[in-house]
Structure 1
């Protein structure tokens, strides 16, 4: 039977950060993961280049039943702290959009840094390890695995959520939380493409592969970023972002011309009476999308001087309330995160220790903390892992 100070279950972003942090404190740390490779989601994220943080990360970019929970961790381990870490290793990275940092070459460069830190800290990593049972006895934790038993004083759950099961995601963390009496808030796939109703899917199929700037609004929240038409529905940054706030059956407003006002359309008729509205829209929207609009409004090809106010009103409403007929989402199969999870009201925001079971810690995505798209979820992984690593 192996005996260590700390066992971390999950060799992802938060788990590796926590293990290295604890190892540098002189703790004997063992990281266990059922996969054959560490950091699989790190490697595949951001198109293989990993959007590993956002320099603008702040509590307002996270959703939780307890919105104050993430404040302490983000303050104690900031985006700049993580950038300082990768800078020391010479990681080359780029800022694609303001604040969003990606590896310049490959996410493997980032994972290599994390594994190097793990090695330097003295922590040990064991892959292909199945957890058979966990028991808490006399201030110790007994973990039975397919490679033998392990005893530790601190157990850290860094198993993530249910997103992308092909990468090894399971509900293990939620099950263990419930085992010791934790409340696990309802989970659902988020930062995920939206599917559309069958009839609308056929109508929009000709737009597959086209992207345009739109605004998406749900539950009083709006994101204005690109949307991508797919063969199943719609995706792109604006759609992924809005799924943190929208659920199937709720209202979802899509504006495919967010920079356009009703006055702008009226001015087309006033200022360029010989010009058609089709000629105006092709300078604003992809040509194939304009063709879809024209199918609804055949008069778009006529001179604007011939149009009525009612026609222009109808066109503006169509553009600003573009019906994609949302059906649901693609689910955990392609979701970047799992919304919901272990109730943070039952976890210390300072140490990340369970308030239900001494010696048990929860970090990263398994918690009910979900960030926006753009590197925020990775930053919470680093912050929560670092903070827990200070106390295990």
Structure 2
């Protein structure tokens, strides 16, 4: 007769949120089991930030997150701040630097963050099992039964930290959503976030030879439906690719974009590019217009854009319309590069189902969801890691 294994807490998924939550719960004296379907922990951490892990952002605030409920993240973010995680990094003697806009990166490789979290787990007595996928989670009288290929495990509480669907080659699956649905919890439709846009075949042919060219722009999404909170505006780099558009500005607005909607790009933010041509002594021709645009865009980009958007004549109204178009260039992507190139998954377990102070399902006490599996998606720049740390802290404190 097999012996039933019992734990206080079983954490599903050994990514950023799962590792941190397991360590914190273990430090609180809980008997913790951390289950990971892959061959090692922290796989997405290792490839983050170009291999240097952008582990937080000093400017983190709730406005940096997208969710059906923009207020949901406030509690967790207030209770565990970037300063708190920085203190942990410094405790482990990890050297770091600020790259730009509050983004903190390790001086060395991202592996030091994984090692730090593994050390915290080990010192807290956390038991970790790799290559152990979860098949289902069920409610039982005294807690939960977690079914794995090697048997059934029991726990008083379960924390789902299985991530989203982004980067499937790293082992991403939808098991977290499946578990939520099995308990009748609503899911905000998942979609790729922080992901490059693709053009239609015809558009790609017109622009693909400019692949690699970039420019600083202001970009925003333009939803067809009115939203309670308008999409933010991002001033960062745009990059032309052989299939469409990428770069930080595009990745940022992609999380707010929905299929069929346009995005608006200001190619010369803060400048009046062509209005000088309205003066009586200024030449009005394509060469003059091109030279002015080249002050803001790479030459080939400026040439192509002007070819596609040349004014019909040199009247004042036509020049003014072209000026306006430079600052509000409408682009309707055909799609995105999908989960294979998405840095995160937008959408997820509905925050309406969760208690913002404990991350537990309101209708299923003891079952918590943290990190990317929840409908809270951060901007590019360390915000998603800070959500992982903060939501893990909130869940662990309530166990």
Fold shared, TM-score > 0.5 on shorter chain: yes
The partner residue of 2:371 within 364, 377, 385 is 364
1:53 aligns with 2:56: yes
Distance 1:146 1:182 in 2: 25
Q: 1:136 to 1:281 in 2, by over 3 A?
A: same
Deviation at 1:307, TM superposition (A): 4.8
Q: Is 1:248 aligned to residue 259 of structure 2?
A: yes
CA shift, 1:311, in A, is: 4.3
**Aligned residue in 1 for 2:334:** 327
Task: Within 5 Å, give how 1:164-175 maps onto structure 2.
Answer: 164-175=167-178
Task: Provide the residue aligned with 1:227 in structure 2.
Answer: 238
Which position in structure 2 is the counterpart of 1:283? 295
The Cα of 1:316 is off from its aligned counterpart by 1.7
> What is the Cα deviation at residue 69 of structure 1?
1.4
Q: Residue 90 of structure 1: SS of its match in structure 2?
A: coil
Cα RMSD, aligned residues only? 2.0
Deviates more, 1:276-285 or 1:226-235: 276-285
Note the C-alpha offset of 1:297. 6.8
Secondary structure of 2:365's counterpart equals coil
TM-score, normalised to structure 2's length?
0.91
Residue 144 of structure 1 and its aligned partner are, at CA, apart by 2.2
Shift of 1:124: 1.3
C-alpha displacement at 1:25, in angstroms? 0.8
Partner of 2:380: 373
- Structure 1, residues 126-159: CA drift from partner, whole Å, max 9, x if none? 1100223322111221222123332111111000
Show the counterpart of 1:22. Answer: 25
Q: What secondary structure does 1:115 align onto?
A: helix
Pick from 50, 66, 74 the counterpart of residue 63 of structure 1: 66
Q: How does 1:334-373 map to 2 (within 5 A)?
A: 334-373=341-380
Shift in Å, 1:273: 3.2
Deviations 1:283-341 (A, max 9, x none): 22111112213434779xxxxxx954244224324423435441111111111111111
* Superposition TM-score, scaled by structure 1 size: 0.93
Q: Are the counterparts in 1 of residues 239 and 245 from structure 2 also a CA contact under 8 Å?
A: yes
Matches within 5 A, 1:195-206: 195-206=198-209
Instruction: Confirm or deny that 1:38 pairs with 2:45.
Output: no
**Does the C-alpha gap of structure 1 residues 144 and 312 become closer, same or farther in structure 2, counting only changes over 3 Å?**
same
- Which stretch of the first structure deviates more once superposed, 166-175 or 141-150? 141-150
In the alignment, what sits opposite 2:275? 266
Give the aligned length: 385
| C-alpha distance in 2 between matches for 1:53 and 1:271 | 53
Q: Give the conservation status (yes or no) of the 8 Å contact 2:262–2:330.
A: no
Q: Partners of 2:308 and 2:145 in 1: how far apart?
A: 66
CA distance, structure 1, for counterparts of residue 316 and residue 278 of structure 2 = 10
8 Å CA contact 1:196–1:324 kept in 2: the answer is: no
Provide closer, same or farther for how the CA distance between residues 248 and 353 of structure 1 changes in structure 2, counting only shifts above 3 A: same
Whether 1:313 and 2:325 are equivalent positions in the alignment is no
Q: CA deviation at 1:251?
A: 2.5
Matched, 1:127 2:127: no
Deviation at 1:188, TM superposition (A): 1.0
